[in-house]
Structure 1
Amino acid sequence: MSSALKWMPLVAALALAGCARDGYYDDRGTDYVDAESSAPLVLPDARDDRRFGNAMPVPEAQGSFVSQGEDFRVPPPRALGAGGGVQAGGVALREAAGQRWLVIGAAPSVVWSELEDFVAERGLTVVQRDANRGLLVTDQARLSVRPGLQQGVSELRCEQGGSPQQRCLRALQRRFEARGATASASSLAVQRPGDQANPLLTRSGGEWRLELPYGVDRTWAELSYQLEADFAVQERRELLEQDAEARTFLVDYLTLSARSEGIWDTLTSFGGADPQRIRLSLEASGPQSAVLKADSADDRELSDEDRRELLERVAGLLG
């Protein structure tokens, strides 16, 4: 028997498995029409919040999305655990263009309070304090706090003469790691203000691009970190190269059109679709704004919808 014929029973079984009561595929869209809501579960006030959480949390879709009329499709939410985002109470180091800073999974108000305690405990002389700007200048360093690129995080810098102070950053990192290990996540995870800008997907010259309301160096550092963590799935999405000077990333990505191939085509071809090689280019568009573009880096054309879907995923990593 030829190898092709050996596959026919499997193909037939998969095709028949889709049959259901209303047609070829089971449409469960009406199963919830008669569903009734029940009263929410009430827990005692004396409960320990650290012991409870959502059993099946639903991630929120990040960024802003543009309708395409009748062809509009709701973008998927960011996968739980996707990327290398800092969780509530976590701390991570970022580096770009000779600068270093900490990204902390806590609201700026929480970080500011800890920063004041840090300065007081070390007996440093405060030269300037501006809580509204998140600026605390001592006789040894300039400490600053501001909202981070992602939801519920802050950026903390320690500099002197415009240069990052490594010993100061290490001391602050240890402090926040110790706090994160003892504090509950709910006491640290505070949403960013609703009026803070988010990544915006727009069209320019007939092509989709991602407008980012952050400085290009901050964006590069975060995007590099996120792509290294999220684009690490062989034959689906992989970060191949990154050029900090040119601010470009070379990735292999299984596009939406490739993923949307029918099951019959996939089985009868005895193989899956190949990822497409794509170059992501980051450009400054202002002092506190940048633009990310996606273009084909091989002999295949990158369709308009595939470009849009890829940029949506990146927006989810940065939003």
Structure 2
Amino acid sequence: MRYTTRWMAIAPLLIAVSGCGSGYYYDRNSEYAEAQMSEPLTLPPTRDRMRSRNAMPVPDTRNDFIAERGGFEPPRPQSLSTSDSRRSFVENRRADGSRWLVVGAAPGNIWPRLQQFVQQSGYNVQSIDGDRGRIVTDRGVISLRQGIRGNTTDVYCQQGSASVDGCLDAISAYLSASAPDSGVSLVAQNLSRNDRVQLESRDDRWQLALALDFPRAWAEMAWQLENNYETGGRRLIDQNRSERVFTIDYTVEGEGSWVPFMGEADRTGEYRLHVEPSSGGVLVTVTDSSDQPVDPRVAREILDSVASTLR
């Protein structure tokens, strides 16, 4: 009987552990809601800092605090893969007469392959700077930097105007033909960033902050809204770069009610996404079709849908 009891106690643990490989993760939502503040423990300075940390850490934020109605739904964790199989591994972008490549892997993965390309293509390398992601050759500069989405890289060629397309076409063919996970460069890992797209609240107004210059941000938003945004309840209608506005159709989900037939119905309307340069990047805000402010809940929902497409 003693052995049977032990097995019965261990079996649920095995089941729980085996579930981790199926896409489940530990949800601490209720623990955060019920946590109480307490004085931190005084620990010796020689402690192992990796093994002693706050039990319920709260990350820093640039947003105003907004209490959620009806509870908080934690976001799904992002994929740990180095590329997104739903998109082409190498895509072209153009803006203001410039062209670059968007590659579906992190800079740390692309940097060693870019070096291999230069070597195999017979370039005469004059200098290599992994911290800045730059390779200076006798034909010009080949560089990379973090893309707007996580696990993406932007690749550039700075050469004579006639040879830029040829350089990027050759790099595109080389990267498309090689395996996505051929190696990772520790030197170039500091080029990766996770803050390119931030949903923020300022003075009860939601905005999307993009850590990119305007041409690059507009080109990426145009591409993603044209190719990956449309679903049954949303779609891109128009874009006007001179006015810096995208126009979309969007269905806002109505709020339910505990009283039957008293909840709000879904509402489909036309909205405008305003893309404005700011210090350090670009800000995206939303208005209705008459350029009037919309309800903060609606603005957040729309901007979150755009952010999810860009990430």
Q: Is 1:149 paired with 2:142? A: no
Q: Is 1:117 paired with 2:109? A: no
Letter in 2 for 1:215: D
Which of residues 268, 272, 282 is equivalent to 1:279? 272
Change (3 A) 1:205 1:66: closer
Q: Is the 8 A contact 2:272 2:291 kept in 1?
A: no
Alpha-carbon distance between aligned partners in 2 of 1:86 and 1:283, rounded to the nearest angstrom: 32
Which of residues 228, 231, 235 is equivalent to 1:238? 235
Alpha-carbon distance between aligned partners in 1 of 2:283 and 2:235, rounded to the nearest angstrom: 21
Normalised by the size of structure 1, how large is the TM-score?
Answer: 0.67
User: Once superposed, what is the RMSD of the aligned Cα atoms?
Assistant: 3.9
Change (3 A) 1:164 1:207: farther
Which of residues 281, 302, 305 is equivalent to 2:294? 302
Tell me the CA shift for residue 176 of structure 1. 0.9
Q: Is the 8 A contact 2:64 2:203 kept in 1?
A: no
Q: Is the 8 A contact 1:88 1:106 kept in 2?
A: no
> What does 1:159-198 correspond to in 2, within 5 Å?
159-160=158-159, 165-180=164-179, 183=180, 196-198=194-196
Which of residues 6, 9, 14 is equivalent to 1:38? 14
Q: Is 1:95 paired with 2:94? A: yes
Tell me the CA shift for residue 101 of structure 1. 0.8
Change (3 A) 1:172 1:70: closer
**Match for residue 310 of structure 2?**
318
Alpha-carbon distance between aligned partners in 2 of 1:220 and 1:70, rounded to the nearest angstrom: 31
**Counterpart secondary structure, 1:95:** strand
Alpha-carbon distance between aligned partners in 1 of 2:236 and 2:78, rounded to the nearest angstrom: 18
**Counterpart secondary structure, 2:195:** coil
**Match for residue 200 of structure 2?**
202
Letter in 2 for 1:122: S
Q: Is the 8 A contact 1:89 1:177 kept in 2?
A: no
Which of residues 238, 245, 248 is equivalent to 2:245? 248
> What does 1:41-80 correspond to in 2, within 5 Å?
67-71=65-69, 73-74=72-73, 76-77=75-76
* RCO higher in structure (CA 8 A, sep ≥6): 1
Alpha-carbon distance between aligned partners in 1 of 2:193 and 2:168, rounded to the nearest angstrom: 30
Structure 2 residue runs without a partner (length 5+) = 1-10, 26-60
Alpha-carbon distance between aligned partners in 1 of 2:165 and 2:238, rounded to the nearest angstrom: 28
Letter in 1 for 2:210: L
- Percent pairwise identity: 26
Tell me the CA shift for residue 279 of structure 1. 0.2
Normalised by the size of structure 2, how large is the TM-score?
Answer: 0.68
Corresponding pairs, count: 256
Alpha-carbon distance between aligned partners in 2 of 1:93 and 1:195, rounded to the nearest angstrom: 21
Alpha-carbon distance between aligned partners in 2 of 1:164 and 1:139, rounded to the nearest angstrom: 13
Change (3 A) 1:130 1:309: same
Change (3 A) 1:130 1:86: farther
**Counterpart secondary structure, 2:287:** strand
Q: Is the 8 A contact 1:128 1:136 kept in 2?
A: yes
Residues 167-190 of structure 1, C-alpha deviation per residue, up to 9 Å, x if partnerless?
11111111111114xx559x67x9
Alpha-carbon distance between aligned partners in 2 of 1:196 and 1:300, rounded to the nearest angstrom: 32
Alpha-carbon distance between aligned partners in 2 of 1:302 and 1:122, rounded to the nearest angstrom: 54
Q: Is the 8 A contact 1:282 1:293 kept in 2?
A: yes
Alpha-carbon distance between aligned partners in 2 of 1:214 and 1:172, rounded to the nearest angstrom: 23
**Counterpart secondary structure, 1:233:** coil
Tell me the CA shift for residue 123 of structure 1. 1.3
**Counterpart secondary structure, 2:178:** helix
